[in-house]
């Protein structure tokens, strides 16, 4: 009997955040226990001591499988390099950093990176997103593609499980079999007419929006928002401005928050103007107890995660979105048909890989009729519309849930127990297919539950990446122009 649990040598908050986001069961390695039956694979993320090296090598001789990171030498485990096809299954940005080795019947995958440190990265720069030659929209986002990083780790961990003929099990990223769809409105300077027009679109397609309110712009008529049905109202600040001053950020959030409360609105979420996360913002958010925030300079196009702030887990959940809006495409002179083409391209890719979809819009930008086309496709699709607060509350329950799974390889019997029976569990025995099973039915026959193709999202190829890197001077100019026009608090 094999327990399905990942053992990690040095369990830091950084690794906890990354593994929680993926949804796997993990714990610190207990070398007093038999490694082969207690752990389905190991993560060796710091140099082991001599006794630990001996135990891990013993584990490898019994067909064990381990991931080692950049700061750990392969020579500790007498690995011989092999080609097992791992690099072909992961995003191009990391494919040349991953290599496989063998130690007898054991498998070693070395990732020439420290993924936990990359995951905690909060640096940002202007980046292009692939569309058409000369029409690639751009935005200031985190310098690490955290979705690519998570998918790389996900694929590595699955490969390590399959090597041992064990199932790869993790918590599904949606409250149902359907992936979620969320739509965010940053209400920057919106008029009553523009706001009402968007609300009517929401009601027409029965897709609830999450409205991040620029409070000063609507100060005299905040009560209008309170009358909205089936919508979420969150905070975007009183002034639409940015700062790295704790005092200025605090005052801007406090004033906007209090105005909303005075109008009978209780915001549970926040997103900072211009999407710029910094250390001062992290400090301020500790004072307000928002359930989530959403800043694409911390992460974009990825699953929700807990940020790392001063080497600790930040309690404010981060919900990433796709960072391109109609304004981004308008700067590239895209017409409405081209905007529809772009967002349908992103939507189709995310639906194909069954990932969450989160788009956003500003009321004073063009594109309402364009969004109607996109929403019509969403309603026809296998997507579950959801507000940000609903997703955040689901995600916290997901993080808190424990899945205890054991697999009898000889008789091919999987038994599972979940502390939250409302979740769905993702189970895979190979790299091609996976099944989704309600936790309440975890010991039912696997053939009785839904099966899906395991497909990675599309990432730009190396040639496409080179095209995106052309004309870097223009990106710098755009960033300077953006910075000059950015209001400071």
Same domain (yes/no): 225, 374: yes
Boundary-marking domain end, from 346, 362, 394:
394
Enclosing H/E stretch for 374: helix 368-380
Residues 157 and 25: beta-carbon distance below 8 Å: no
Q: Does pLDDT of 344 surpass 80?
A: yes
| Residue 410 burial (C-beta neighbours within 10 Å; 0-12, 13-18, 19+) | exposed
Same domain (yes/no): 45, 157: yes
Lowest mean pLDDT: which of 306-310, 313-317, 414-418? 414-418
Structure confidence by residue, pLDDT tens digits, 32-47: 999 999 999 999 999 9
Q: Does pLDDT of 485 surpass 80?
A: no
Q: Give CA angle at 115 (106, 73), nearest 5°.
A: 45
Lowest mean pLDDT: which of 130-134, 375-379, 401-405? 130-134
Domain coverage including residue 156? 1-118+144-171+406-460
391 in helix, strand or coil? helix
Same domain (yes/no): 326, 433: no
Residues 415 and 405: beta-carbon distance below 8 Å: yes
Structure tokens at 370: 């364009």
Q: What is the mean pLDDT of residues 62-71?
A: 95
* Rounded-to-integer distance, Cα 36 and Cα 40, Å: 7
98 in helix, strand or coil? strand
Q: Does pLDDT of 450 surpass 80?
A: yes
Q: Does pLDDT of 266 surpass 70?
A: yes
pLDDT of residue 463: 81
What do you get for the CA distance between the two ends of the chain, in Å?
A: 60
Residues 6+ apart with CB under 8 A from 418: 401, 402, 403, 404, 425, 439, 440, 442
Q: From start to end of 227-306, where are the E strands?
A: 232-235, 269-270, 292-293
In a domain, 487, yes or no: no
Same domain (yes/no): 364, 254: yes
Residues 6+ apart with CB under 8 A from 13: 308, 311, 312, 313
Q: Does pLDDT of 155 surpass 80?
A: yes
Structure confidence by residue, pLDDT tens digits, 73-130: 999 998 888 888 888 889 999 999 999 999 989 999 999 999 999 999 999 999 999 9
Q: What is the mean pLDDT of residues 468-484?
A: 79
Same domain (yes/no): 221, 254: yes
322 in helix, strand or coil? coil
- Length reported for the chain: 489
In a domain, 318, yes or no: yes
pLDDT of residue 448: 66
Domain count of the chain? Answer: 2
Q: How far is the CA of 81 from the CAs of 74, 98, 164, 235, 480, in angstroms?
A: 10, 11, 18, 52, 47
Same domain (yes/no): 388, 241: yes
Ramachandran class of 63: left when φ > 0, alpha when ψ lies in -120 to 50, beta otherwise: left
Same domain (yes/no): 110, 33: yes
Minimal CA–CA distance to 180: which of 326, 304, 266, 20?
A: 304
pLDDT of residue 30: 97
325 in helix, strand or coil? coil
Which of the two residues, 337 and 444, has the higher pLDDT score? Answer: 337
In a domain, 479, yes or no: no
Q: What is the mean pLDDT of residues 337-365?
A: 96
Same domain (yes/no): 77, 162: yes
Structure confidence by residue, pLDDT tens digits, 395-444: 999 999 999 999 998 888 899 999 999 999 999 999 999 999 998 876 76
Same domain (yes/no): 239, 304: yes
């Amino acid at each position: 009997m094999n327990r399905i649990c990942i053992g990690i040598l040095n369990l830091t908050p950084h690794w906890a955040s990354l593994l929680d986001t993926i949804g796997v069961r993990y714990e610190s390695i207990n070398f007093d226990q038999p490694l082969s039956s207690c752990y389905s694979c190991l993560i060796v993320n710091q140099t082991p001591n001599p006794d630990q090296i001996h135990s891990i090598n013993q584990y490898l001789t019994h067909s064990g499988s381990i991931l080692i990171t950049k700061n750990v030498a392969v020579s500790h485990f007498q690995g011989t390099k092999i080609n097992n096809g791992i690099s072909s299954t992961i995003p191009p940005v990391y494919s040349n950093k991953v290599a496989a080795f063998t130690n007898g019947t054991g498998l070693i995958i070395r990732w020439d990176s420290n993924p936990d440190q990359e995951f905690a990265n909060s640096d940002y720069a202007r980046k292009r997103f692939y569309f058409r030659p000369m029409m690639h929209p751009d935005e200031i986002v985190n310098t690490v593609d955290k979705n690519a990083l998570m998918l790389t780790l996900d694929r590595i961990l699955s490969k390590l499980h399959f090597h041992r003929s064990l199932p790869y099990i993790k918590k599904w990223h949606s409250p149902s079999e359907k992936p979620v769809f969320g739509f965010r409105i940053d209400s920057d300077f919106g008029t009553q007419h523009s706001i009402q027009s968007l609300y009517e679109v929401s009601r027409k397609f029965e897709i609830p929006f999450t409205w991040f309110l620029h409070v000063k712009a609507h100060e005299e008529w905040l009560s209008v928002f309170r009358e909205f049905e089936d919508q979420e109202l969150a905070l975007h600040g009183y002034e639409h401005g940015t700062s790295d001053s704790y005092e200025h950020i605090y005052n801007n959030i406090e004033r906007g928050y209090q105005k909303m409360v005075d109008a009978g609105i209780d915001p549970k979420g926040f997103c900072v103007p211009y999407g710029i996360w910094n250390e001062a913002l992290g400090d301020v958010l500790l004072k307000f107890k928002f359930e989530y925030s959403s800043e694409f300079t911390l992460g974009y196009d990825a699953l929700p995660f807990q940020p790392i702030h001063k080497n600790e887990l930040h309690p404010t959940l981060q919900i990433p979105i796709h960072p391109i809006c109609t304004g981004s495409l308008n700067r590239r002179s895209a017409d409405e048909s081209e905007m529809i083409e772009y967002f349908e391209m992103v939507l189709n890719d995310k639906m194909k890989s069954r990932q969450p979809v989160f788009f956003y819009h500003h009321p004073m930008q063009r594109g309402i009729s364009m969004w109607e086309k996109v929403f019509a496709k969403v309603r026809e699709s296998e997507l579950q519309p959801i507000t940000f607060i609903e997703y955040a509350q689901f995600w916290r329950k997901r993080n808190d849930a424990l899945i205890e799974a054991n697999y009898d390889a000889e008789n091919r019997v999987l038994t599972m127990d979940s502390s939250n029976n409302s979740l769905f569990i993702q189970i895979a025995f190979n790299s091609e297919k996976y099944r989704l099973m309600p936790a309440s039915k975890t010991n039912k026959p696997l053939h009785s539950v839904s099966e899906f193709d395991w497909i990675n999202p599309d990432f730009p190829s190396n040639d496409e990446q080179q095209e995106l890197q052309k004309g870097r001077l223009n990106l710098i100019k755009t960033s300077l122009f953006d910075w000059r026009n950015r209001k400071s608090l």
